[in-house]
Every structure is written in structure tokens, then in C-alpha cells.
Amino acid sequence: MKKKKWQKFESLVLQVQKKISPEAEVKQDQRIPGKKSKRFRQIDIVIRKKIGQYNILIIMDCKDYRRNLNVKDIETFIGLVEDVGANKGALVSATGFSQTAKNRAIDAGVDLYRLVDTGDHEWQAYVTIPTVFQIKKLISYRFRLVFPSPGPLEIHEQDIRNLQRLKIYDKNHHLLGTILFLLTQKWNKDFRLLEPGEYKDLPINDGKAYIETDGSFYEVQIKSDITSAVEYYFGQMPLEEISGFHDEINKIITTKEIRSISFNPEDIERNWKRIPSTESLAVEPVVNIKLSHGYQLVESGLIPQSLITTPGSLG
């Protein structure tokens, strides 16, 4: 038998609640005896959970109305919560609630939710979240080579163009790459985790390093001074997948998992609004994502290769 629209909405709310509270018993269309009415009351969604010696009962009513729920709807539900002796009650609306309904629910301790789900159905939602991208870049670099005593020479802060293509070998005299290549590797692996600023005497190779001069190999210490900076970009990031409830009173979304759409980080720099800092925003970003330019080596030097995601925060 084909489900009616309101039944589909109720089933969808059931599935969302099951995802949010997998540790609880969540059932649909239950009958619970009323303590005052002395008759069985129909409940759309029943949530039961045992906490220690206590059995917690939560009931949810699902309303697929074309209009916002009003204060009379809230008061009817309050009576249902009291009659079955539920510890908590929540109303889920497909549209929303009037302000007087919200006021009455706050006074009675009833939660008001609006379904938020990006699945392919009649109540499909399009959701974006305020997001800040922090993109860290390598601004400048220079090298210093020091030869342990006794050594053939010491090179101190020479022009980068004379040093960046100098070939470096390991202790077995196997080629590691040019100095610029080693810096590229080091930045892509480690330097992206550093805070922006100026850094002095950073080693760019692991273990001993050597250069070759007239057929002989000499040990060398390679250090670099780098300067990195951060650019901030703000925008609304669309979500490809989210399934949860929007708390109409506290203005928060409860969900188990979200997934953003695929995005090209280079588009962020082209199309998102660049801001001086997060403090300049009038709204609080929900997501803060830190990125770092990766680099590849070309004949002329370093160019951005991609943006590498580093740990961000979801608030």
C-alpha cells in the first residue's frame, strides 16, 4: 500500500532520529497508555533509553502542514506529553513555527525542530554553512650553507639563484635533488603545519648532506630562512549531505554527519570574499578550514601545485 505524504514525512523523521541516537530504542507509531485520559495515545516517534536505573521516555510528533505550527498546536502536544508521562517532548515541523508557538514551547520545555535533510525527497533542503578558509603561502625564502671544519669554504646568504640549483647528495653519494627541490619537499611535508611568520635557520634535509666539487664530496649543513603568510577567505559552503534537525529555539542543527560538495580550492581565491581576519566578520563562521599551498618545482622556481588541507575546526 502506497504511503501517504504525512506517513513518508514521519518515516523520514524516524530514520533521521535513528541516525542521531543509535544507542537508543527509536520506534514509530506507538501506543502508550495515558495516565489522565485512561486510554491509549498514538505517538509518532517514541525514543526510549535506560540511563543507570532510570528509563527515559521521549516522544516526538511530526507535522507535515503547509502552514507554520501555532500556539494551539503546541498546547495540544503539551497535553499529550503530560498524559503519557514523557520525560521530554519534541515537535518536528516540515515548515516552521509561529513566534507565539515558540514562546509557549519555551515556557513548557518542549523542543521545536524543523527537518533538515538533503536527500532526494519532497522535503529536500539546500544547506550552506558560513565558512572561513585560511590559506597559508610561502612568501619568500633564502638558503645558507655551512661546511663543518675543516671544509673547503663557507657560503653565507648568497643570492638564491646561485644556490637553489646546487645538487645535494646523501652519505652514500646518491643524488637527493637540488636545494630548491629539498625545500619544496620540506614545505609540503612539514612547514604547512607551522604558524605564519618568519623562521630562521630551518634545516631542509634529514641526515647528513654533501655537495660535489671537482670529484670530491664535502659535508654541508643546509638551512633556510622562510617567510609565510595567511590569507583569509569567507563564503557560504554548500553541503552535499546532511541529515538532522534544526532547533528552532536555540538556532542550532543536530546531526551525526555532514559532507560538503567537492570544491576547487583555487576557486576560493578567485571567487570567495577575501577578508583581513576572522575578527572582521559580522557573523560567526561554522567551519574554519586551514589550507596550505603545496608547491612543485619548475625551471623558474616554485609554483603552487595544489592546496593541502590541514586540520580545521567545526563549531
Do residues 65 and 95 lie in contact, with contact meaning Cβ atoms separated by under 8 Å?
yes
Is the confidence at residue 153, as pLDDT, over 80?
Answer: no
Q: Find the length of the chain.
A: 315
Do residues 184 and 297 lie in contact, with contact meaning Cβ atoms separated by under 8 Å?
yes
* 197 vs 302, residue with greater confidence: 197
Q: What does the block give as the cell for 217?
A: 664530496
Q: Count how many Cα atoms sit within 13 Å of the Cα of residue 13 in the half-sphere of its side chain.
A: 29
| Best CA proximity match to 285, nearest among 305, 309, 259, 314 | 314
pLDDT at 44: 97
* 163 vs 22, residue with greater confidence: 22
pLDDT at 313: 38
pLDDT at 11: 96
Cell numbers 514509530: residue: 28
- DSSP lists the bridge partners of residue 228 as 138, 197
The answer to which of 61-75, 223-237, 241-255 has the lowest mean pLDDT is 223-237
Q: What φ, ψ does residue 103 adopt, rounded to 5°?
A: -60, -45
Q: What is the mean pLDDT of residues 184-191?
A: 74
Q: What φ, ψ does residue 166 adopt, rounded to 5°?
A: -70, 130
The dihedral sign for the CA sequence 144, 223, 202, 224:
positive
Do residues 199 and 247 lie in contact, with contact meaning Cβ atoms separated by under 8 Å?
no
CA distance 244 to 34: 29
- Ordered domains of the chain (ranges, CATH): 5-117 (3.40.1350.10), 127-238+262-315 (no CATH)
Which helix (H) or strand (E) is 247 found in, with range? Answer: strand 216-247
* 28 vs 164, residue with greater confidence: 28
CA distance 296 to 304: 6
pLDDT at 302: 54
| Best CA proximity match to 60, nearest among 14, 21, 98 | 14
The answer to which of 94-103, 174-183, 212-221 has the lowest mean pLDDT is 212-221
Is the confidence at residue 60, as pLDDT, over 60?
Answer: yes
> Where residue 179 falls among pLDDT bands split at 50, 70, 90?
confident
* 163 vs 235, residue with greater confidence: 235
pLDDT at 222: 86
pLDDT at 312: 39
pLDDT tens-digit readout, 77-121: 999 999 999 999 999 999 999 999 999 999 999 999 999 999 999
pLDDT at 144: 81
Mean pLDDT of the chain: 84
Is the confidence at residue 303, as pLDDT, over 60?
Answer: no
Is the confidence at residue 295, as pLDDT, over 90?
Answer: no
Residue type, 11: S
pLDDT at 213: 76
In the 8-state DSSP scheme, what is residue 80? H
> Any residues with CB less than 8 A from the CB of 110 and at least 6 apart, and which?
74, 77, 78, 81, 89, 90, 91, 104
Q: At what angle do helices 71-84 and 99-108 cross, to 10 degrees?
A: 20
Q: What does the block give as the cell for 295?
A: 608547491
- DSSP lists the bridge partners of residue 293 as 307
CA distance 200 to 227: 9
Q: Count how many Cα atoms sit within 13 Å of the Cα of residue 213 in the half-sphere of its side chain.
A: 9
pLDDT at 123: 94
Do residues 12 and 115 lie in contact, with contact meaning Cβ atoms separated by under 8 Å?
yes
